[in-house]
Structure 1
């Protein structure tokens, strides 16, 4: 049967849509198939209550590079960003707090309340991370080489990789290795003495990770969240007008403008393979669609354990996919509020700045480690960690007049909770999150009018996030760069010819970036051009 499309993309998450947009811009006839009735995957805006638009899972933007925004003309397609006013608002049990903005003088004064030494170290540490980020960032935009391979093409990619690291000297090499291997706690202990300052920084090393601040490798997670930028400002974060689903919609508009066909409510049952080549897909209703290439935006485990018969794959590849780690202790708690939270001890102006920042429920590295310890030993956190934001302070499109939304990305519950709903336990856990915030925002509890609680089971069953992992797999050293998702297949290709990956289970990992789709489309276009 002749191909009906040049490429069929399985999954309408933001990376699948990005792939479609780039392929469409190159003149390919592309079809996107999304099993849900709404596009976006984890970057989605939904309406759980009348009048509200909620970023159900992912909730802020930073990791999308200016290249993707510019090349896909996302601002022309409606993408509007509101940078956060501060990096962190961290209240402490004694009534003190840290409210840290990008203003160097303000940050120095805030940190100086706890440690003059740390106040001096803060900008030096920020530049330390920025220097490493400047080295790593170009690597995100390249296709990882197959380390150890001997073909001319692989050796050329290795040479390109080595060239990207030409700026490393002895010290910067040591810094790079430290950030890639240490725990975030070890890294922060080298730089700071104040427990309050370390509390503010450590959360970026553990968020979205099934590990605590003392888990090896979490220093890289801190760096991963530092690499992004908004309007040229590194390590900046922003709310998206209309919620994070507006990012996906803007990308979808560009894809449609360049000829892509996008279908929702179209669930793929299997990827068609003939003579070790993918030739299309079969929907669950039996419809078969043929294409020159199939691109899966689904999680690697879904792609290779559900959509492809394991007999069509090399046995060592199947074992590697089975061992691929995709764990999570994350619970997303979305709150509709009748009024804005009032923060104890803050003047009106500072309170509004705090409301436009990351509002942390974590007063020390030990607090965060104990929260993880509970989950590690089979119990939900008695005192959960939460990263909260209130997007309605800048975006009036999200809620009815006078109402507010608070989005809480929280941790931890046991990884095993991805296997069952645990509904009652999740509601009790969410109660503890609200109670934790109420200790310094006393009107919060009474302000809650609606509540949505999504645990790992919900994230896997409804959104295809295996294990509830929003990154499509752990961001550990053995699952990064040339080893994501599997050694030898980090170039977006798979053991099955004409079958590609483009989701967050590929390099460079998770976050709303579009980089995975941009990189994958580049490799797909190379291959399709060779076959003409």
Structure 2
């Protein structure tokens, strides 16, 4: 038999992290092959037209950018940009029988806090608290593309014992309750600790703290920005950068087995109508730790479990709000919080932990097309159409195991009812229709994400996040495995999760260091 084709590096999985790694390695002169089982690259960071005959290109799964370092965009020469949102968030509520809400962002922020709470106390506490997180972000974010610092070294770098205790040692609920008195304000703060994970504010494992940290350090500011052209614009730019640097990308090619002796690996590949083997000095796996274990024939890690509902919508217009003091274009330009008061979040977690869908599902929405209308066809944009992306919390995969379709329908109805409670017209009256007359709305549960993207348990971070410092088991870059020439370059790496490219960069640096 002829010897298999051989490469310096084979990358399993053409998601954004795999493409980052491919571009760096190819630019360093390495021969690189990327294997992607789907028909296109991009993984969860793609743009698609999900509604039949409708010219709207939505970021179907991941949708905002915070953790992607400018360093990666600059070093790879990516034709990619993000835009700031004019509003950070709007949270509607009812006080004294009157529809009102909290608008954060811009000149109205202080007045909005005062109107909601009756004083400047919560606003001033907000400024102090997020001033602290910003100082921490300025110190931590640059370390994400460096070798992992030790715990003590990171603490010394932060130079703030109270901030360290707040973020790394005590449940985040302690700080939220200490700094803020208003239930709604507390809930808005806590949501950053819950996006993509399933935890209580006082979880002793500090899972919520780890999630919170990654949500507030992005770009050294904590800002969440809109990708111009949708998330697919990033992965298209990465694929171009990898190919232009010399990397070979094969779609519809699935790695099914990795055999390695620590210095050379052979990868079995299934492609349409054939199976073959390729060889590599180093293998970088842009897939979950569970998938990595299956490829190597190793013992799989503990199961992961996602806990979110993702809904994509296209509207003919933004709905009117019951709170007439806020323009819908401002309310939906940032993150529109639904049922995310502190008590409501606790109630939803309690429901889900008991095996029930939340009676009042918490969720948040944003409108990409307000900041970046380029994702809409010219005709839709001219007619005032808008996209909405909804992300629901506290809906672990176990709640969908018995009947995914029925649970999805029940949860979607309850979630939209929660939104309608703050609207002056039903959202369904605003939904666009596709060419078949069907409403332009799709919902994805954790089990849907597991089936479509092979996210274990639908977990968007592949597994629970880790603090960004070294432990005995992390290795120098946080991407190492038990096999010297096999690296994990997906979201399950230390400092993984989100659309960041950080694991891809770090795995490339580890490979080059070999």
Could you tell me the TM-score, scaled by structure 1's length? Answer: 0.86
Unaligned runs of 5+ in 2: 432-438
Match of 1:475 among 445, 465, 472: 465
When residues 418 and 70 of structure 1 are mapped into structure 2, their CA distance, relative to the original with a 3 A threshold, is: farther
Q: Which residue of 2 aligns with 1:150?
A: none
Is structure 2 residue 414 aligned with structure 1 residue 429? no
The residue that corresponds to 2:334 in the other structure is: 357
1 CA distance for matches of 2:264 and 2:230? 36
Find out whether 1:344 has 2:344 as its counterpart.
Answer: no
Between the aligned partners of 2:497 and 2:471, the Cα distance in structure 1 is: 14
Distance 1:372 1:330 in 2: 12
How well do the aligned residues superpose, as a CA RMSD in angstroms? Answer: 2.2
Task: Give the 3 Å change call, closer, same or farther, for CA 452–278 of structure 1 in structure 2.
Answer: farther
Q: Relative to structure 1, is the Cα distance of residues 418 and 72 closer, same or farther in structure 2, using a 3 angstrom cutoff? A: farther
Aligned-partner SS, 2:9: strand
Change (3 A) 1:255 1:519: same
* Match for residue 266 of structure 2 among 280, 299, 321: 280
Distance in 1 (CA, whole Å) between partners of 2:263 and 2:401 is 33
Secondary structure of 1:286's partner?
A: strand
In structure 2, C-alpha distance between the alignment counterparts of 1:417 and 1:121, rounded to whole Å? 37
Return the TM-score normalized by structure 2. 0.89
* Partner of residue 166 from structure 2, selected from 169, 175, 178: 178
Which residue of 2 is the match for residue 445 of structure 1? Answer: 428
CA distance in 2, matches of 1:445, 1:504: 35
Conserved? CA contact 1:491–1:523, under 8 Å: no
Which runs of structure 2 are paired with 1:398-409 in the superposition (5 Å)? 398-400=375-377, 401=380, 402=383, 403-409=385-391
Cα distance in 2 for partners of 1:131, 1:522 equals: 27
Residue number in structure 2 paired with 1:394: 371
Q: Distance in 2 between matches of 1:8 and 1:235?
A: 34
Q: Which residue number corresponds to residue 301 of structure 1?
A: 290
Please state if 1:334 is matched with 2:312: yes
The number of residues matched between the two structures is 487
| Residues in 2 aligned to 1:163 and 1:293: alpha-carbon distance in whole angstroms | 30
Whether the 8 Å CA contact 2:147–2:476 is kept in 1: the answer is no
- Whether the 8 Å CA contact 1:375–1:415 is kept in 2: the answer is no
| Alpha-carbon displacement from aligned partner over 1:348-380 (angstroms, at most 9, x marks no partner) | 7x4322221001113411101111222111111
Residue matched to 1:415: 397
Instruction: Determine if the alignment matches structure 1 residue 16 to structure 2 residue 18.
Output: yes
Cα distance change on mapping 1:501 and 1:425 into 2, 3 Å: same
CA distance in 1, matches of 2:269, 2:345: 44
Partner of 2:38: 36
CA separation of 1:422 and 1:278: change in aligned 2, threshold 3 A: farther
Instruction: Give distance in 2, aligned partners of 1:384 and 1:488.
Output: 39
What is the aligned partner in structure 2 of residue 456 from structure 1?
446
1:96 aligns with 2:79: no
Counterpart in 1 of 2:238?
A: 251
1:466 aligns with 2:474: no
Which of 209, 224, 247 is the aligned partner of 1:237?
A: 224
Q: Secondary structure at the match of 1:133?
A: helix
Aligned to 1:315: none
Q: Deviations over 1:294-337 (max 9, x none)?
A: 11000011111x21112xxxxxxx3xx523x5222111111122
What per-residue deviation string (whole Å, max 9, x for no partner) do you get for residues 280-304 of structure 1? 3111342211122111000011111
Structure 2 contact 477–507 (Cα < 8 Å) conserved: no
- Checking the alignment, whether the CA contact within 8 Å between 2:339 and 2:360 is kept in structure 1 is no
Q: 2:216 aligns with which of 226, 235, 248?
A: 226
